[in-house]
Structure 1
């Protein structure tokens, strides 16, 4: 009887987290697009990462500290800009090393969200800075504002949907061994680097592809051997959902409908993300699907506002997403050909 009660309580907690993630992501999306923030898709992506990473609200001091860490982490990309401009080979090597260290610290028990922000700074900021420092500062501002909004929304969602009283903190999984952390951090860095080289030619056009590559690198850190097909599956599912979302939004174009449709789609994915131990697919699969949906949809809205051909741009962008994901699958396949005996990576949201 107590076992049934514990299972029911755990399911209730997971359901609350799913509802918070859906509401929080939709609020971040409506706020960033409604206020006309630059690169508005960043805020809901940050919201999804924050609400999936933390199982309780952050104190005000911790939230401010996280924002400062984010500013320093993303701003670190500015240090590589002079090398990418004047010594490209050295700059690319420094970017690769930075990505390796960023992913490694998350695997060794560090904050995976900070590692993701550091990876975003090393890629998006440094690449944008090769063309225009103003563009790099705009990207930094978008990332920091998106994170601050996500932290505020996290607290609001826990006030709106509180946790059961005296619920113990979720146990943290064990850190990966040094050998496995090095190997998987290298694998994740190799997943992201070709997109960095591609984006150096046209940073503004390839910014969404860089966001997708960083998301793939984060997901590949938490994947077990042989699960590379989850990468392409989540990308294709995210693209399909983006098409359905765009069609549904076209029935009645309004910011409130944008919010409500995002709430519905995010809730469907969040229920799978927090399904618990019985889930067939990893939490990273569903989180990457949601991030892919947000990036594709947000960029399509921006293309429509700019008067571009939305369908052609979507087809090109989706093709690039699939190409980047297939390359990531190839890297996972090739680098998984190592001696057996490594520990399994703990699943992480």
Structure 2
């Protein structure tokens, strides 16, 4: 049982309140891609137990500019030499994931993957759409940073709390194999987005989350971790939508998100211990936010929310099943190669 000085309760409250506040502010301000800001805030709160310093904030802004610039540079290549462009994107994804696995900042790696895939994919359809994504990404990062700072002020980390365990840097060969399977998970979603960027943008965000999750998932656990978290996120999105439909209002949107995130954050920080890994609960929250946010956008646009949700959930399950297969095949090939070398 957690003690009074156990920082996990503060971290759970901080993550839930920060994500819910960012969601309410993003939809209240009508940001271009409203579900992006709470996703970024969730990633930041889950990966950092300390607020960003001024230097770190400036570094994050510089990194976002670098990310958007790299995505824009790839647009002409994807338009005129598509095969070479796709191969280059795949290579960049590999190095982004390898950077995070080889001792780099996983948050920076996540931002790089998001910017690289979203901007280059939308730019092939229309340059104005790429500029809209850049605007949405910039505003989302700014709002997420402000929300994270406010959350740390509301629920500060105890002074004597130990720093969160840092993921050890993997050996170069192992990091390369894991980065390869993560890149292969994200690449098919990127190819789908090249067909219709506006429709498949949520699929890219789901694939990025899966790519991060497979970096710490073993082949024997892939089905339970990846598919189980996706199905749980979809079920929670259905329950959330049903509750929100009773009385649609921004403040109730905030309150319901706070409640759902609190329930999942307790599992994430083992305040309510389970057999699932933290990545399972984090991916469930990511799936919930993406599905719910896109359903709200469909409702505003006058689309059939339920049919759109069914199609999107089907795509999420298909991408997840592909991710499970990629993890299994890459790990099997790696183990065979290791046995061949050892003999």
Q: What range is the shorter-chain TM-score in?
A: over 0.9
Q: Does the CA-based 8 Å contact 2:229-2:280 persist in structure 1?
A: yes
Partner of residue 269, structure 2:
274
Partner of residue 142, structure 2:
148
CA distance in structure 2 between the aligned counterparts of 1:41 and 1:31, rounded to whole angstroms? 11
Q: Tell me whether 1:293 sits opposite 2:288 in the alignment.
A: yes
Per-residue Cα deviation, 1:112-141 (whole angstroms, up to 9, x for no partner): 111111111221110100011121121122
Give 5+ residue unaligned stretches, structure 1. 343-349
Partner of residue 240, structure 1:
235
CA distance in structure 1 between the aligned counterparts of 2:44 and 2:203, rounded to whole angstroms? 21
Per-residue Cα deviation, 1:303-342 (whole angstroms, up to 9, x for no partner): 0000000001000000011001100011011112132899
Q: Tell me whether 1:36 sits opposite 2:30 in the alignment.
A: yes
Give 5+ residue unaligned stretches, structure 2. 339-343
CA distance in structure 1 between the aligned counterparts of 2:206 and 2:247, rounded to whole angstroms? 28
Structure 2 residue aligned with 1:250, among 245, 249, 262?
Answer: 245
CA distance in structure 2 between the aligned counterparts of 1:74 and 1:101, rounded to whole angstroms? 17
Q: Tell me whether 1:339 sits opposite 2:335 in the alignment.
A: yes
Q: Does the CA-based 8 Å contact 1:71-1:140 persist in structure 2?
A: no
Secondary structure of the equivalent of 1:336? helix
Q: What does 1:128-277 correspond to in 2, within 5 Å?
A: 128-229=122-223, 230-275=225-270
TM-score (norm 2): 0.94
Q: Does the CA-based 8 Å contact 2:11-2:49 persist in structure 1?
A: yes
Per-residue Cα deviation, 1:15-71 (whole angstroms, up to 9, x for no partner): 110110000000110001011111100011001001001011111231122122122
Q: Does the CA-based 8 Å contact 1:73-1:114 persist in structure 2?
A: no
Q: Does the CA-based 8 Å contact 2:219-2:331 persist in structure 1?
A: yes
* Greater Cα shift, 274-283 or 122-131: 274-283
CA distance in structure 2 between the aligned counterparts of 1:88 and 1:147, rounded to whole angstroms? 30
CA distance in structure 1 between the aligned counterparts of 2:172 and 2:274, rounded to whole angstroms? 28
CA distance in structure 1 between the aligned counterparts of 2:127 and 2:14, rounded to whole angstroms? 36
CA distance in structure 1 between the aligned counterparts of 2:70 and 2:271, rounded to whole angstroms? 36
> Per the alignment, do residues 138 and 53 of structure 1 end up closer, same or farther by CA in structure 2, a change over 3 Å counting?
same
Following superposition, which runs of at least 4 residues in structure 1 exceed 3 angstroms of deviation? 276-279
Q: Tell me whether 1:25 sits opposite 2:53 in the alignment.
A: no
Q: Does the CA-based 8 Å contact 2:49-2:157 persist in structure 1?
A: no
How far 1:262 moved relative to its partner?
A: 0.3
CA distance in structure 2 between the aligned counterparts of 1:186 and 1:67, rounded to whole angstroms? 28
CA distance in structure 2 between the aligned counterparts of 1:94 and 1:221, rounded to whole angstroms? 21
TM-score (norm 1): 0.92
CA distance in structure 1 between the aligned counterparts of 2:61 and 2:39, rounded to whole angstroms? 15
Q: Does the CA-based 8 Å contact 1:74-1:117 persist in structure 2?
A: no
Structure 1 residue aligned with 2:311, among 309, 313, 316?
Answer: 316
How far 1:276 moved relative to its partner?
A: 7.2
Q: Does the CA-based 8 Å contact 1:75-1:140 persist in structure 2?
A: no
How far 1:146 moved relative to its partner?
A: 1.5
Structure 2 residue aligned with 1:79, among 73, 78, 101?
Answer: 73
How far 1:211 moved relative to its partner?
A: 0.8
Secondary structure of the equivalent of 2:49? coil
Give the length in aligned residue pairs.
336
